[in-house]
Amino acid sequence: MPIAVKLIEKLLKLTKWAFQNAKEFLEVKEKIGERGYDDTRLDELLDLNSRLDAKYKDQQKKRADLVIAGRNFDEKFSTVRKHCKNLRSLVGKVLSAAEYEKLSRLLGLDEPLKRMYEAFDEQAKKLYTNVLDDADLMARLARFGVTPEQVREWLDELPVLEELKRKRETAKGLSQTARRDRDLLYKELSKEWSDFKDICHMVYEDEENPQYKELVGILEFSEGYLRSKAEDTEPQEEPQEEPQEVQEAQVADG
């Protein structure tokens, strides 16, 4: 099952905050250092956080590349298929019933126009090449403004479409690989985070001051603390009502 983007972002934020505080605050370091979380170990965890963050961003970029590659292919496929559909219709107009029955298989008209790319590609090639080879048929199509140059142009669209398909498949593979690597790092960091929290819960089990639990991320900050931090960092101006942010819907990679 794909890991939700919000879960990854939350884990990155929490672990960076907690591991950095555990390293910087002496009061915290002294307690958890006795349980194996010395500077070296915390640096390893921060490095793991950084690697997941980098891989997460790389995966997001590759996923965006896949979306673009897919859109480019779909748009071109729609155009190419439309050209082929129009030519099939015109061929049907210029052939008699007997001629149509005789030539339909040769021209690939004996079946409905395929929607899947591979089957469509075969149909289109068969139609274009055989129409070009039939001078009499081309002469009849000329009444509708269809020229050999135009049919060749439509035929030349097929390799372009094939290249766009190749790019889409390449982008898909890169996105899947990046997602797999990202998910492995997420699971690794998630396990380390669970172990870290277990140790902190034991170390601060009898601690009455909530600040230490807040610093290591096992207790949510109080509203008062958050308010005081905001007042320290925000410029002292006439208070204004800020527009409420609309939260993004949870997005999962697939």
Is there a domain that residue 249 lies in? no
More confident residue, 53 or 254: 53
Is there a domain that residue 106 lies in? yes
Is there a domain that residue 139 lies in? yes
Q: Tell me the one-letter amino acid at 172.
A: K
More confident residue, 76 or 26: 76
Contacts (Cβ under 8 Å, ≥6 apart) of 188: 48, 52
DSSP 249: P
User: Which candidate, 223, 184, 216, places its Cα nearest to that of 199?
Assistant: 216
Is there a domain that residue 241 lies in? no
Supply the pLDDT for residue 111: 93
Share of the chain above pLDDT 90, in %: 69
Supply the pLDDT for residue 220: 59
Contacts (Cβ under 8 Å, ≥6 apart) of 56: 8, 9, 12, 182, 186
pLDDT category of residue 217 using cuts at 50, 70 and 90: confident
Judged by average pLDDT, the poorest of 31-40, 84-93, 155-164, 173-182 is: 31-40
pLDDT category of residue 227 using cuts at 50, 70 and 90: low
Cα dihedral angle (143, 148, 149, 155), rounded to 10 degrees? Answer: 120
Supply the pLDDT for residue 231: 55
Average pLDDT over residues 100-127: 94
Q: Which two tokens stand for residue 207?
A: 């601690």
Average pLDDT over residues 146-171: 97
Is there a domain that residue 32 lies in? yes
pLDDT of 69 over the 50 cut: yes
CA dihedral sign, ordered 27, 32, 36, 40: negative
Using alpha carbons only, give the angle 14, 66, 15 rounded to the nearest 5 degrees: 5
Supply the pLDDT for residue 172: 97
Contacts (Cβ under 8 Å, ≥6 apart) of 217: 14, 15, 17, 18, 21, 197, 200
User: Which candidate, 253, 66, 72, 251, places its Cα nearest to that of 174?
Assistant: 66
Is there a domain that residue 208 lies in? yes
How many Cβ atoms sit within 10 Å of the Cβ of residue 57?
Answer: 12
With residue 210 as reference, give the H or E element that holds it.
helix 210-215
User: Which candidate, 100, 254, 84, 104, places its Cα nearest to that of 179?
Assistant: 254
Q: Which two tokens stand for residue 231?
A: 């007042």
Supply the pLDDT for residue 247: 40
Supply the pLDDT for residue 63: 97
Contacts (Cβ under 8 Å, ≥6 apart) of 211: none
State the residue range of the domain holding 184: 5-229
Answering whether pTM is above 0.85, one says no
How many domains is the chain partitioned into structurally? 1
More confident residue, 47 or 200: 47
* Average pLDDT of the chain to the nearest whole number: 86
